[in-house]
Structure 1
């Protein structure tokens, strides 16, 4: 008899259980069989947050623990809302269900090379092209109607106020040098106004990073081929989604930054000190913000003496 999925009260207890795939693979196979789906070439994806198994070359099963049900709601809603509304390939839901209180999705598997595997070795021209395509994709996603995603809680203003309240303590705990923490009072004092919606909220993934997209190589070089992992989708101010590429990919290089921003629809003239200050605030307030471990500019802690210099280092145009 197939075992049941256990109950977990926190992610700390769930994570080691998840890492031992032998604990849950038989249940995943049973779910697939229950829907008449073959599991001919199973492959466990070790990274990420949930239980993710490729059944074969065409389908992926993603199982969400009850404590991460919000991610299931976001992923299911985002895939449904964006299907057919953007040019870039995204997974298509084939089956959804629930097992022992754990919701799951089966969706199509995209083709391409994982960005995290390919990005470091790409020629610079290809990196600039991919960043432009990421900017275009962000803008395209944000032109789609938010639909039911607008009901995801917390809403933008509540989310921002929570982030503001915990911002200094978070970054002090993560080890951000004092010279940057010294600028937090001024920035956080203005953060509500800086991050306020400038129109209707738009769809945000919060994670346009190499781990969440696929690349393919054509005659003209490497291109963006697919986007996946929509578990953190919310709605809010559009510039929030420029932060992932800015932290992990642009490396403070003017041509890369310009490629990303122009793809998004911002010219060099749009990148004013006010915009940089807003981006700096959003960067520090991002739910995954961790400059010491995420900023890909070598020696950035020595190159900048305060937040003003840091924002010019991140967005040097």
Structure 2
């Protein structure tokens, strides 16, 4: 029997073949046959792993060099309850590639509709994101999620300047912001760590948009609640201070100077987002303008 999956020995190899659905279809449909999924799968193109939809069921195939994504997402999804997240039906491996079979979560990625929504809708959804984050953070902490928070955040601080690769005056501002970084005293919680526009799903009914799902928990870990605010602030709220504040209020935080100042510092600590890329996406004159776009004039 011939191999169903390509021989991929590096991340660059994987990225080269990632978009070719013909390469992945045989293995995906073998998994579907194993688990009695009817019909032909439809490729879902967002994300880093290979995802196909079979009606109300998703098959997600994980690149073995990113096995930790599979391990963490499996633990996370098995721990979550009471939230519109995928439910695992089965797991396994095919030719050394791990996979999950799970429920399809309805809705469209926020990235597809966000800029078409009214300001009122965006404020409403930001409030809902805050509420959803609060529920997520109340999840009982499962064994096996990365919990080395202090070493993780220390590494983020130590690498912040080089990671962001931003010109002056930004480099100096980063140094100033993180020179005496202190985390507010809060219990560590279950974090998603990547609540970007493609991981929150929205549905519209009767003219009202609501959150219908959260997907992709491959970066979940245990840590400080403020870390989960970074992606929504950068991807949903930037340039709309009322959206930022609705996010905080939905979570149950008071919109105070110290809270906004602390969250601004956290925006420099995300594992993936780079300030240089952000500055390429938005025209931001200087750090003062960055803070004003997040929180409004004179804050924090």
Report the secondary structure of 2:268's partner residue.
Answer: helix
Distance 1:136 1:295 in 2: 29
Superposed, which structure 2 residues align to 1:174-193 within 5 Å?
176-191=166-181
Give, in angstroms, the shift of residue 206 of structure 1.
1.5
Distance 1:43 1:294 in 2: 32
Maintained 8 Å contact 1:90/1:228: yes
Superposed, which structure 2 residues align to 1:231-242 within 5 Å?
231-242=218-229
CA distance 1:26–1:280, change in 2 (3 Å): same
Task: Give TM-score, length-normalised by structure 2.
Answer: 0.91
CA distance 1:219–1:11, change in 2 (3 Å): same
- Write the deviation string for residues 17-74 of structure 1: whole angstroms up to 9, x where unpaired: 2221211211111111122222x1421122311111112x211100111111111111
Superposed, which structure 2 residues align to 1:40-79 within 5 Å?
40-55=39-54, 57-79=55-77
Distance 2:269 2:242 in 1: 26
Give, in angstroms, the shift of residue 249 of structure 1.
1.0
Corresponding residue for residue 287 of structure 1: 271
- 1:81 to 2:79 alignment: yes
Task: Give TM-score, length-normalised by structure 1.
Answer: 0.87
Distance 2:60 2:169 in 1: 43
Give, in angstroms, the shift of residue 294 of structure 1.
3.8
Maintained 8 Å contact 2:29/2:40: no
Distance 1:23 1:17 in 2: 8
Give, in angstroms, the shift of residue 97 of structure 1.
0.5
Maintained 8 Å contact 2:146/2:222: no
Is there any run of 5+ residues in structure 1 with no aligned partner, and where?
Answer: none
Distance 1:315 1:115 in 2: 22
Report the secondary structure of 1:211's partner residue.
Answer: coil
Corresponding residue for residue 259 of structure 2: 275
Maintained 8 Å contact 2:106/2:212: yes
- 1:11 to 2:4 alignment: no
Single out whichever of 284-293 and 225-234 deviates more from structure 2. Answer: 284-293
CA distance 1:122–1:309, change in 2 (3 Å): closer
Maintained 8 Å contact 2:136/2:190: yes
Distance 1:184 1:154 in 2: 26
- Write the deviation string for residues 89-138 of structure 1: whole angstroms up to 9, x where unpaired: 11111111011221100111112222111111011111111110000000
Give, in angstroms, the shift of residue 154 of structure 1.
5.9
Report the secondary structure of 1:53's partner residue.
Answer: strand
CA distance 1:296–1:178, change in 2 (3 Å): closer
Maintained 8 Å contact 2:126/2:247: yes
Corresponding residue for residue 112 of structure 1: 107
Report the aligned-residue RMSD.
Answer: 2.1
Maintained 8 Å contact 2:4/2:26: no
CA distance 1:187–1:7, change in 2 (3 Å): farther
Maintained 8 Å contact 1:2/1:26: no
Distance 1:242 1:6 in 2: 38
Corresponding residue for residue 87 of structure 2: 92
Superposed, which structure 2 residues align to 1:119-268 within 5 Å?
119-148=114-143, 151-153=144-146, 155-172=148-165, 176-191=166-181, 194-195=182-183, 198-219=185-206, 221-268=208-255
CA distance 1:294–1:186, change in 2 (3 Å): closer
- Write the deviation string for residues 249-294 of structure 1: whole angstroms up to 9, x where unpaired: 11232321121110011122xx21x333322222111011223434
Is there any run of 5+ residues in structure 2 with no aligned partner, and where?
Answer: none
Distance 1:253 1:65 in 2: 37
